[in-house]
Every structure is written in C-alpha cells, then in structure tokens.
C-alpha cells in the first residue's frame, strides 16, 4: 500500500515511514479516519498544532479501475468540532498511488506567518517558501504551479478563505484543465491547511512506475464488467453525462423536496431557469463543455465548463448542490449570477454549500435582499478583500446566523444542510441527523430509493424503512470512499446484483486477496465506528443527532414534518 509521508510544518522537515500494521490495507476514508482517531486528541483545537491534515488515495487509486480517482482529506473539523472526511476528484490521488504514497500527513504548526509549498515527485520531496503566492486565489496559484512544474501536475491549494482560517474554507484541486473546479469542500479543512501555513501541494508522478496489478487478467475482466455496468445504467450512463448533476434540479423540484427560501417550501417557481436543461442550453449556445471527467479514468463524466454571455470561461464543475444553494435557497434565479458565485468560491476556496446557505441566512437577517444576485456577489467578494463582512459569510451558516441574530439556521453538528429537504426526503434526513460528518447528503444518499427509484423504492414522506435505508447506505458509502471510488457508482451498484462483488473482484485482483462482499461491508462499519468514537471523545452525544426545530414546521407541497424522535434515531450507527 506504499509509505506514509509525514511533513512537520513547523520545522519544515519530512520523512517517509512504513505503514503501521494497524493501518495495513486501509486507504481513502478508512485510513484518514483511523489515523485521526489514533493520532489526534479529540478535544484539541482544530486550528492548533495537535490537529493533523491527512490526504489519502483510495486502495484502487492508480489502477485502471474506472472512476477510482477520488482523494480523501481528513482532520478534526474547524466547522463541526468533530471528525471530517471530504473527498474530491482531480489529479492528486492517482499520482500519489503511482509514487507509492499511501498518505500525506501534515503535522504541527508554524510559529511564523510564512507560507510554504510542498513539491512531491519521483525524486523526492521539497518544502519551499511560497511568499509570492500569499494572498492569491486558487486560479492564480494553480496557473503558477502548472507554469512552474508542468501541465498536468496535481495541485492542492487554498485561497484567501483558507489563509484566514475561515470555517467554510475548502481545499481545491486542479482539474484536468488546471482550474480549481474540484474541491474538498465540506468541514472547513482549508482552514486547517491555512493554519499549518501550507499554501499548496504539488504532486508530479513523471517517471513513476505503474501500479502493480497482482492478477492482470482477472482485473481486466472485472474492470470491463464494471465499465459496462456504469455505462449501461440510466443515471451514470445517460442522465449524469447529458446534464451533469444539475439533472436533479427539475427532478427534486418536482418531488417537492427542493428547499426554497431557507427551507420554507419544496418547490422553486424559477427552477426551470436554473435547471440542468437550461445549463446545457447555455453551454451549447456559448461554446462551453457539457460533459467532462473530474479525473482521468472517469466514465461518468458529469462535470462541465460554463461560459458567460460573451462566450468567455466563467466556471467549471458547476453542480447541483451549488446551483441550489445560491439559487433556490437564496431565491436567485439568474444563472450567470449563480455561476459567478461558484467561481468566487473556487477562487477564494470556499465550500459552495456552506457559503450558499450562509448567504441565504444573510438574506434572512436583512444583510442583503432576498434573490439579489448582484448583492450576493458583492458580499461574497468581501472574503477576497479580507473584510469583516467576508469573515462573517466565510465562517458558514451558523456563524452568520449568530452574527445576525437569526434563529432559522439549517445545520446539524454546525454544518449546513445540502439540497434536499428532510421532510420530503426522509431517508437523507436520517443521514443528516446521524452521520458523524454533520449534515451531509454524500454520507448516505437516501435520495436513491426515496425519489430516484434506485435500489428499490421507499416512501420519502413516511418514516417506515428510512432509518434502515440510511444506515445501509452509510455503511456502503464509507466502503466506497475507502476504495477511492466516486459516490455516483452507487447508482449502478444498487441496481446490479453483482455490483458490489465486481468492486471486490477488482480489489482482489489488484492486491492478490480473497475478500468477500461481507468483508467490504464490515470495513464500512469499522470506519463509522471509528468516526463515532472520535466524536464521542470530542464530546458529541445522541443529542447532536437531531435536526433543528425549524423542521417541525409543516412543509409544502406535501405538508409533511420531521417526525423522527431522538429515541428512534439513537444508536442508528452502533454496530
């Protein structure tokens, strides 16, 4: 599985070490969460020297396995105060795997304000001064890194939000065009990187050997079956490639689960204006790109490139959650304004969900008018100016609500809700409440059976079956994250009897193992147990596994409420 690269950010030294027996065979989220539990004091300050920031490729990274290029980042979250894993596409994961690096571990904390960059290649590691990059956004940083170290190097960087250690700060990755369109967004991990004064990490695998496949023939056969499965599924083979993740706008709006004006309604009257269909139409007219991969080897290709009215590049990776947060949640209907807000988040290094919800809270508190896209752009620009207003918004939804005296703040464990109302999509609501990560749809995407009819059908408006749905999906998702696979492969896996066994076959062929699907599911359970244990040590209890009281309100159009009790949710993830 390679070696650990430990970097002492205070002393600006590094060292390689063998992977300890306790971490053997782990990758991605499995490795980051286990290391955080073992090595980070749960009660430490997230921005202090005791916290660690860990980047780990999944166990299939670097292999030809389709859609296996996701990188996990883990730390104690400045936003939630609990454990956090956030993964993203890009170029870094596969390059680390080819360099034989199982994880990068950033430790300690500098005593000065001088930033550094870490350059990793086949010849070794350098820790270099980065004073010329301080104060710059991710677009400028990535352009500079590609100019200096060559196109197609992997880059992880922070923008102005990370430098200010704001709780909504992301760590962005260079996409396949060298732009910061891929983000480790949730949980404020960019603030941890900023606290450790690391402006960027550059990874170049030129000259590195290919990843060894123990049984090439078996791997090739399993991967072919895997690719066919992904390409033939209606979601991963048709819907996502055609319209990107924004294909969900009209679907979720029609289902009455599209949170509008800070979760007051499940339908947005201007949904058509910000839909995937509308985005595809604009891209076609303006000369953008409707479908591209977020990392090499992706066959789903749900990313895109969006141009402005003059046909000039505006943003990329323009996704459903972002469009909802800046759109329906804030009642902004101008697609170009939403795209500009997305671009600013990529440049400053901010989670678009947390920031979009915070802007809605700013509207709730009268800081700017509802639906005013230009005012939202002006306010968000304050982050790049290091202005006080920017520090409010950049610290996320709860912080913004506290600053403005707003009590209607949709958060769990201090993290903002994503783009599905839990009263009309109760499976994902259970996930919001119970995942160790704070409100996070990707931890257990109950939308599958609740609304999309993938992996069966469970009524989204009733309680029955939704705790079990969320629990099963959280276990499976943790295992997928450990493999380094894209979350969207779950659509095909859930609808194919041999979906999980095909993944296991690739893992077995890659390493010469004889794992079973049950072994992989047990891994998923162990990951969740580790995460729950860290949070327990950090002071979390069952009281933290519930939704805010605003969700007791009746929710149109289905007139549902959140009716799960604390007792019903207690112990949901105890294995």
Last residue of a domain, one of 416, 450, 474: 416
Whether 176 and 103 share a structural domain: yes
Whether 46 and 169 share a structural domain: yes
pLDDT digits (tens, 9 = 90+) for 152-178: 999 999 999 999 999 999 999 999 999
Residue 513 lies in a domain: yes
The parent domain of residue 80 ranges over: 3-203
The residue to which tokens 């700060």 are assigned: 169
Whether 152 and 9 share a structural domain: yes
Whether 391 and 345 share a structural domain: yes
Residue 198 lies in a domain: yes
pLDDT digits (tens, 9 = 90+) for 448-491: 999 999 999 999 999 999 999 999 999 999 999 999 999 999 99
Q: Indicate whether 417 pLDDT > 80.
A: yes
- The stretch 180-207 carries a mean pLDDT of 98
CA distance 266 to 501: 37
Q: Indicate whether 35 pLDDT > 70.
A: yes
Collapsed DSSP state (helix, strand, coil) of residue 482: helix
Whether 396 and 439 share a structural domain: no
Whether 433 and 410 share a structural domain: no
Whether 469 and 401 share a structural domain: no
Q: Indicate whether 541 pLDDT > 80.
A: yes
Residue 554, domain CATH: 1.10.599.10
Average pLDDT, the chain: 97
- The stretch 499-506 carries a mean pLDDT of 97
Residue 215 lies in a domain: no
Residue 317, domain CATH: 1.10.569.10
Q: Indicate whether 516 pLDDT > 70.
A: yes
Specify the length of the chain in residues: 575
Contact 309, 181 (CB under 8 A): no
pLDDT at residue 571, as a whole number: 78
Whether 57 and 117 share a structural domain: yes
Beta bridge partners of 6: 15, 105
Last residue of a domain, one of 203, 229, 259: 203
Q: Indicate whether 513 pLDDT > 70.
A: yes
pLDDT at residue 1, as a whole number: 62
Q: Indicate whether 51 pLDDT > 80.
A: yes
DSSP 208: P
Whether 440 and 500 share a structural domain: yes
- The stretch 553-563 carries a mean pLDDT of 97
CB crowding 54-82: b at 16 or more within 10 Å, else e: bbbbbbbbbbbbbbbbbbbbbbbbbbbbb
Exposed/middle/buried for residue 123 (C-beta within 10 Å: 0-12, 13-18, 19+): exposed
Q: Indicate whether 572 pLDDT > 90.
A: no
Residue 217 lies in a domain: no
Whether 443 and 373 share a structural domain: no
Collapsed DSSP state (helix, strand, coil) of residue 328: coil
pLDDT-derived band at 262, boundaries 50, 70, 90: very high
DSSP 367: S
Structural domain count of the chain: 3
Whether 199 and 127 share a structural domain: yes
pLDDT at residue 473, as a whole number: 97
- The stretch 490-513 carries a mean pLDDT of 97
Contact 501, 517 (CB under 8 A): yes
pTM of model > 0.85: yes
H/E stretch holding 171 reads strand 171-173
H/E stretch holding 568 reads helix 566-569
Residue 229 lies in a domain: no
Last residue of a domain, one of 416, 441, 466: 416
Neighbours of 127 (CB within 10 A): 17
Residue 226 lies in a domain: no
Residue 293 lies in a domain: yes
Residue 219 lies in a domain: no
Whether 47 and 174 share a structural domain: yes
Residue 12, domain CATH: 3.60.9.10
pLDDT at residue 574, as a whole number: 80
């Amino acid at each position: 599985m390679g070696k650990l690269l430990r970097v002492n950010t205070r002393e600006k030294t590094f060292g390689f070490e063998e992977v300890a027996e306790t971490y053997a065979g782990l990758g991605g989220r499995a490795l980051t969460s286990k290391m955080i539990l073992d090595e980070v004091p749960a009660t430490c300050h997230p921005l202090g020297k005791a916290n660690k920031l860990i980047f780990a490729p999944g166990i299939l990274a670097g292999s030809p396995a389709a859609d296996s290029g996701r990188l996990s980042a883990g730390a104690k979250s400045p936003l939630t105060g609990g454990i956090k894993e956030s993964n993203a596409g890009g170029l870094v994961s596969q390059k680390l795997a080819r360099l034989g690096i199982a994880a990068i571990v950033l430790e300690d904390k500098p005593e000065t304000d001088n930033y550094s960059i870490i350059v990793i290649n086949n010849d070794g590691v350098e820790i270099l001064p980065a004073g010329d990059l301080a104060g710059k956004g991710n677009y400028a940083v990535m352009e500079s890194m590609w100019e200096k170290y060559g196109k197609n190097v992997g880059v992880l960087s922070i923008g102005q939000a990370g430098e200010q250690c704001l709780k909504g700060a992301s760590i962005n990755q260079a996409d396949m065009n060298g732009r910061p369109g891929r983000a480790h967004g949730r949980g404020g991990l960019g603030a941890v990187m900023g606290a450790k004064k690391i402006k960027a990490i550059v990874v170049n695998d030129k000259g590195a050997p290919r990843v060894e496949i123990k049984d090439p023939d078996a791997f090739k056969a399993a991967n072919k079956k895997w690719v066919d499965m992904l390409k033939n599924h209606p979601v991963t083979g048709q819907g996502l490639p055609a319209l990107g993740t924004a294909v969900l706008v009209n679907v979720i709006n029609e289902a009455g689960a599209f949170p509008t004006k800070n979760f007051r309604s499940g339908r947005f009257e201007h949904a058509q204006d910000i839909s995937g269909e509308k985005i595809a139409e604009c891209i076609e007219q303006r000369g953008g790109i409707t479908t591209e991969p977020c990392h090499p080897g992706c066959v789903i290709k749900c990313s895109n490139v969006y141009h402005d009215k003059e046909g000039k590049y505006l943003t990329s990776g323009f996704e459903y959650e972002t469009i909802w947060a800046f759109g329906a949640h804030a009642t902004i209907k101008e697609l170009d304004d939403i795209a500009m807000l997305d671009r600013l988040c990529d440049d400053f290094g901010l989670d678009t969900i947390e920031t979009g919800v915070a802007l809605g809270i700013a509207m709730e508190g009268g800081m700017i008018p509802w639906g005013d896209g230009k005012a939202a752009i002006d306010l968000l620009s304050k982050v790049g100016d290091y202005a006080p207003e920017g520090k409010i918004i950049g610290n996320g939804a709860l912080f913004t609500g506290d600053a403005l005296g707003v009590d209607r703040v949709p958060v769990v464990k201090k993290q903002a809700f994503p783009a599905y109302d839990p009263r009309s999509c109760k499976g994902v609501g259970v996930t919001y409440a119970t995942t160790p990560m704070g409100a996070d749809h990707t931890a257990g995407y109950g939308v599958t059976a609740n609304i999309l009819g993938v992996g069966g059908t469970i009524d989204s408006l009733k309680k029955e079956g939704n705790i079990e749905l969320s629990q099963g999906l959280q276990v499976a998702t943790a295992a997928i994250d450990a493999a380094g696979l894209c979350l969207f492969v779950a659509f095909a896996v859930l609808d194919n009897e041999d979906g999980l066994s095909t993944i296991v076959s690739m893992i077995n062929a890659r390493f010469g193992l004889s794992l079973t699907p049950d072994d992989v599911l047990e891994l998923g359970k162990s990951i969740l147990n580790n995460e729950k244990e860290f949070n327990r040590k950090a002071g979390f209890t069952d009281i933290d596994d519930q939704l805010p009281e605003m969700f007791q309100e009746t929710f149109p159009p289905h007139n549902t409420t959140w009716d799960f009790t604390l007792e019903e949710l207690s112990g949901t993830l105890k294995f």
